[in-house]
Structure 1
């Protein structure tokens, strides 16, 4: 009897431990949904950072590419996912952009997401072909105003921040332009290289390596301050008074209702991955990025209304609309 009682007690004591193990997060791979195709700059960065964050997370990440509609498909998918921490979205700015550009994006951007962490920001940069006669911003703006119909400019798609940056710039200087949308920023930058368009705004980590290869030349950057990697290149606001700030922000968000403990754990894992890896931070800065690590999920959440208003202002300034 004593033996049976002892075994029963042991089983009873083991049950809470088993339940705790089952409830521990994570107990399966965390799916990070990237809104663009494999090989895109954002996809490459997501894979790099999640590889670093897996250790402090105590689990693994699986990248799931859900390209389409400029990232709207991925944002909708995560907005309606189970709030258990196993489905996350790479790039909260994608969700915010569509909330501004779409009459009905299929979610409420301030209600249907849980901001986890901001990681880095890459400003848009204006690039021309290296052989272009447009040597600086004054020359480009003069050509834009004097060319009948305006210069041809590319972007990664209608209604993208790159499209709006160019449209706002031309509107501010009283010039016209011919917008040529492509399927992504890489394709738009390639169009610059091949002379299909006169210029394009592209994300710095796409354009800067091409400048280093000697195929494009960056005339200005659209960050709030000059890029650390290009201190001699002026900002758009320096070149065009009232020029907007346009950046691509690397961040992680989940669906609304994410448990606070899970949100904190995810934040800590990504924060450690970037904050404690000097080589990773140096690489981000070298390719034109700036580290924007949020101190807490609440700190990142506080940035969302500000970013939302900034994009609304950009839409109003540019006049761009999704067609």
Structure 2
């Protein structure tokens, strides 16, 4: 009987799920960030993950995988082992490519586990401070004149590209798109006069306006920004164009254990709720804290996000080259 009991014990141990004997997190969690090190979104990811590490009782290691507008990072997480040790910062990046790419290499609804949404930053239209384009009526008038305006973006098929293309299409104008290797580079191109305007996420452009490098003429959120109450929204100047925003959020590969997902959600929620200075810093850069009530609530919002981007693609006519 003792030999039989021992064999049963060995068989049970062998059948246990991989990692079941390891308390999670038993080692650093890899957070893949689809932006270059030093980019505004990368800085934000490092700040928030550092805060979340405390309540989680673990550590995060940031891995920057820039390239292809974030597609490389999204694919890496979609194919990762769902053990809680590989996550993606910015679920909106994965959603964007699911809409823009005919075959992004993953299914947005089957290959990811939404964990939490933390904050949202609207895109903003910025021009050089010395630009003669002082307001949106002036910019729209210039855009209608031939040969139109040059506009930058962080890459072909990015939301910033689609926002500008949709604006021009809506007013019956054309422009020349100049893609760069990221939103920071596109904003720098505005500052240096290489392009007439560009859409950039508020946490990139707002500090540059405060430093006197650019001037923001409109914002692309669903409502006017608290930090810029006098600046009109994109929908006000080009009715019908859907909001264009970037989200600070966390997703994992499909099959992430529910217990791990719940702990991650709680860690990020508690980190942001418990740090007034962090919330103030997010809002000072035009962000709106929108902590998900639960992982399920975040997942439930994805279909609407996909539809919003599909509408933006349809209106803009933007395609991935």
> TM-score if structure 1 supplies the norm length?
0.93
Hey, what's the Cα distance between the residues in 2 that align with 1:286 and 1:223? 15
Hey, what's the Cα distance between the residues in 2 that align with 1:115 and 1:244? 23
1:280-301 deviation line (CA, Å, top 9, x unaligned): 0000000111111001000000
2:109 counterpart of 1:110: yes
Written as runs of structure 1 = structure 2, the 5 A alignment for 1:1-323 is: 22-146=21-145, 148-323=146-321
Please give the secondary structure, in 1, of the residue aligned with 2:212. Answer: coil
Structure 1 residues 203 and 20, CA, compared in 2 at 3 Å: closer, same or farther?
closer
Show the counterpart of 1:4: none
Hey, what's the Cα distance between the residues in 2 that align with 1:82 and 1:27? 15
Retained in 2: the 8 A contact 1:168–1:244? no
Retained in 2: the 8 A contact 1:159–1:320? yes
Q: Cα RMSD over matched residues? A: 1.4
Structure 1 residues 175 and 272, CA, compared in 2 at 3 Å: closer, same or farther?
same
Please give the secondary structure, in 1, of the residue aligned with 2:84. Answer: coil
1:229-253 deviation line (CA, Å, top 9, x unaligned): 1111110111111122000111000
Hey, what's the Cα distance between the residues in 2 that align with 1:46 and 1:197? 29
Q: How many residues in Structure 1 have an aligned counterpart in Structure 2?
A: 305
1:100-119 deviation line (CA, Å, top 9, x unaligned): 11110000010000000000
Retained in 1: the 8 A contact 2:241–2:315? no
The structure with the larger Rg is 1
Deviation for aligned residue 1:42: 1.2
1:199-255 deviation line (CA, Å, top 9, x unaligned): 000110111111111111000000000111111111011111112200011100000
Show the counterpart of 2:9: none
Hey, what's the Cα distance between the residues in 2 that align with 1:194 and 1:105? 34
Hey, what's the Cα distance between the residues in 2 that align with 1:222 and 1:102? 23
Deviation for aligned residue 1:68: 1.1
Deviation for aligned residue 1:21: 9.2
Any gaps of 5 or more consecutive residues in structure 2?
1-12
Please give the secondary structure, in 2, of the residue aligned with 1:122. Answer: strand
Retained in 1: the 8 A contact 2:241–2:312? no
The runs of 4+ residues in structure 1 deviating greater than 4 Å are none
Retained in 2: the 8 A contact 1:88–1:255? yes
Structure 1 residues 34 and 20, CA, compared in 2 at 3 Å: closer, same or farther?
closer
Hey, what's the Cα distance between the residues in 1 that align with 2:183 and 2:48? 21
Please give the secondary structure, in 1, of the residue aligned with 2:47. Answer: helix
Hey, what's the Cα distance between the residues in 1 that align with 2:66 and 2:205? 21
> TM-score if structure 2 supplies the norm length?
0.93
